[in-house]
Amino acid sequence: MKNTVLALLLLFTAILSAQEKIYMNEKYEVVTSPAEATFYKIEEKTDKGDAIIKRLTYRLDGSLSAEQYLAVKDGKPVNEGRHKFWYKTGEPWYEIDYKNGDRHGELIAWWPNGNKKRHDFFKKDKFKSGMVWNEKGEKIEHFPYWVSASYPGGNEALQNYLKSTLPVPEKQKKGTTVKVLLIFTINEEGAISEVQVVEGAPRWYNAVAVQVLSNMPRWEPARHFGEPVSTRFRLPMSFVK
């Protein structure tokens, strides 16, 4: 474990020392050409110790989009400290506190006109309390700032859909399970696209899993501060006989 952590830190140090611009598209996926990019990020050391990395994300016009901090936990970089985000116009959007990868502390958000949008409190990644205001500064009913994408009817309905839709070939041995792990995009309208097999099985199973996923009903899209957003989703499928 110590060797893994050290290797990660050395990797971070190599990146940071070069101050390399890492280009990303609108989904924050790394791309090789600035022509494909919407953002770029730079990672640098901080005065909080070698294990804390500061990540700055910029729009291509040079305006700051995000300031985030990463720490190494169990060999992986995780969110740490206060993260800050800005609107395209330069006004503060929101700030959120993390500890050991969990939301822990405050989340404060503002409308573009400077009025406070919400003020939430988290402890060990659990929501504790909060208030929400409209753009005029009037208090409104609280709602979560982040809601994950979901299959209509919830997880139980999703599992029932998979059980009734996934065929099992005759040649599969009785008492066995074949698993396929897929990752895909659910856009702002709930439509599925960009399906990828990340942990596959024999070709037939992979093809069937992709087909079943592509034929699913539209999902409920993820919501960020109440607005539908595109998101990536991981889904395991099991062929059970």
pLDDT at 18: 45
* C-alpha R_g of the chain: 21
Low-confidence residues of the chain, pLDDT below 50? 1-18
The CA-atom distances, in angstroms, between 143 and each of 50, 116, 122, 198 are: 38, 15, 14, 34
pLDDT at 88: 93
Contact 31, 23 (CB under 8 A): yes
- Full-prediction pTM beyond 0.85? no
Q: Give the residues across from 120 on adjacent strands.
A: 107, 130
155-240: which CATH number, 3.30.2420, 3.30.70, 1.10.3470, 2.60.40?
Answer: 3.30.2420
Instruction: Give the start-to-end residue ranges of the domains of the chain.
Output: 2-144, 155-240
CA distance 166 to 239: 7
Task: Write out pLDDT tens, residues 129-143.
Answer: 999 999 999 999 999
The CA-atom distances, in angstroms, between 96 and each of 71, 75, 79, 145 are: 16, 23, 10, 11
Alpha helix (H) ranges present in 112-236? 155-165, 203-214
pLDDT at 48: 59
Among residues 15, 60, 69, 64, which one has the least CA distance to residue 39? Answer: 60
CA distance 105 to 185: 30
